[in-house]
């Protein structure tokens, strides 16, 4: 996509910030209103919505996995130590620690 955009004015609408990270100018919308604008570095430094989304998208995968619910499937062989999970009123992997 970068090669296609080279030397042209291009509008990109994206939820993944990695898609717009190298843009000259980024506009952040919230409920249809412009709430932030600038370069990736400027928006990251401000600590607003862009920064919050960036942090969520860059959060280590291990940490995200701890927030997932632990599920229990009664008809499947369960791994040793598997709990009942959220579906049966259990807890997430993080709260089970």
Q: What is the pLDDT of residues 13-62, one digit of tens each?
A: 888 888 888 889 999 999 999 999 999 999 999 999 999 988 888 876 55
Section 4-19 average pLDDT: 84
pLDDT given for residue 72 in this prediction: 64
**Which phi and psi angles does 57 have, rounded to 5°?**
-75, -25
Single pTM value for the model: 0.56
Q: How far is CA 91 from CA 69, 71, 73, 75, 78, in A?
A: 7, 9, 15, 20, 16
Residue 67 in this model has a pLDDT that exceeds 50: yes
Token pair for 76: 């499947």
Question: Per-residue DSSP letters for 24-43?
Answer: S-EEEEETTEEEEEE-HHHH
| Model pLDDT, residue 88 | 46
């Amino acid at each position: 996509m970068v090669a296609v955009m080279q030397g042209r004015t291009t509008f990109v609408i994206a939820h993944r910030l990695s898609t717009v990270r190298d843009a000259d100018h980024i506009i952040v919308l919230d409920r249809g209103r412009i709430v932030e604008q600038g370069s990736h570095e400027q928006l990251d430094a401000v600590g607003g919505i862009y920064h919050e989304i960036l942090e969520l998208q860059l959060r280590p995968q291990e940490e995200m996995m701890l927030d997932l619910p632990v599920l229990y499937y009664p008809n499947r062989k369960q791994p040793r130590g598997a709990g009942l999970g959220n579906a049966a009123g259990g807890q997430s992997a993080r709260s089970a620690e």
